Amino acid sequence: MTRRYWNINLEEMMEAGVHFGHGTRKWNPKMAPYISAKRKGIHITNLTRTARFLSEACDLVFDAASRGKQFLIVGTKNKAADSVEWAAIRARCHYVNKKWLGGMLTNWSTTETRLHKFRDLRMEQKTGRLNRLPKRDAAMLKRQLSRLQTYLGGIKYMTGVPDIVIIVDQHEEYTALRECITLGIPTICLTDTNCDPDLADISIPANDDAISSIRLILNKLVFAICEGRSSYIRNP
C-alpha cells in the first residue's frame, strides 16, 4: 500500500478536541499505548499516534477507492448522525446514521428484501399510485415507507455487503462491528479511551463524542476517498 501525505495537522486536531478522552475511571487498559497523559480526571490521547493511524486509514481508503471499492459509514448517535450523512454524501458512500438493524450485513438476504420493498414503495409514491389507493391502505404504506426511509435511506443503492466499513463510535455500533468481524469486512474505527483497539483493522485513537473531532476525522477520510475515486475515474 503506497503511503501518501494527507496534511494531518496536530494543532488542528487539538483545536477540534480530538485529544480529549474519557474519565480516568472509564477507560480500557488496552488503550494505554495511545494515552499520553491524565488531566483533570480525563485521559489525553497521544495525537502523534492518532496522526499515524489516521494517515494509515487514509492510505487504505484511497487505495480501495482507486480500485472502485464500496464503503459504508456508520454512526447513529445524535452527535455523529449529521456528520456521517454529510461525509457519506460527499464521498458517494453508503451510510447508516439512525439505527443499526441487527443482521443488516450478516443477514443480507433479509436486508436486500427490505431494500426491494423500499424501492418499490418509493416508485409507487413517485408515480402517484399510493394516492390512488384507499386512504387507509395508502396511510399504512406511507408509514412503512417513512420507516424504511429512516433506517435504510442511506443504503438504498447498496447492492451487496460493503468492502470497507468506517465506524464512528465502537461502543454505540458494537453490533455493526461484530457483524463486520464475522464477515471479514475490514473496519476503520474512531477509538476513544474506553474502547478496545484490537477489534478494528485500523483503530484511530480519537474523541468520538465531540462533533468537531468526528467531523475532522471523517473529513480526512472523505478527502482520501474522493482522491481515490478520481484516480479510479482517470484510470479505469
Considering the domain architecture, whether residues 20 and 69 belong to the same structural domain is answered as yes
Q: Of 77, 74, 53, whose CA–CA distance to 158 is shortest? A: 74
* pLDDT higher than 80, residue 233: no
Residue pair 18/217 in contact by the 8 Å Cβ criterion: yes
119 in the same domain as 73: no
CA distances from 83 to 77, 148, 157 (A): 11, 21, 20
Measured distance between the N- and C-terminal CA atoms of the chain, rounded to whole angstroms: 19
Beta carbons of 74 and 100 less than 8 angstroms apart: yes
Whether the per-residue pLDDT at 232 is higher than 80: the answer is no
Domain boundary among 125, 151, 177: 151
Q: What is the pLDDT of residue 3?
A: 67
Residue 191: its H or E element = strand 187-191
Q: What is the DSSP string of 65-105?
A: HHTT--EEEE--SHHHHHHHHHHHHHHT-EEE-S-PPTTTT
Tell me the percentage of the chain whose pLDDT exceeds 70: 97
Contact of 75 with 173, CB cutoff 8 Å: yes
User: Model confidence over 47-63: pLDDT tens digits?
Assistant: 999 999 999 999 999 99
Residue at a domain's end among 151, 179, 208: 151
Q: Which pLDDT band holds residue 218 (cuts at 50, 70, 90)?
A: very high
Pick 137 or 224 by higher pLDDT: 224
Look at the chain and report how many structural domains it folds into. Answer: 2
Q: Are residues 50 and 110 in the same domain?
A: no
Q: Which domain holds residue 121?
A: 106-151
End residue of a domain, out of 119, 151, 183: 151
Q: What is the per-residue pLDDT for 29?
A: 94
Strands 42-45 and 35-39: antiparallel
| 35-53: b (≥16 Cβ within 10 Å) or e | beeeeeebbebbbebbbeb
Tell me, yes or no, whether 37 and 78 share the same domain.
yes
Q: Is the pLDDT of residue 182 over 70?
A: yes
Confirm whether 32 is domain-assigned.
Answer: yes
In a domain, 10, yes or no: no
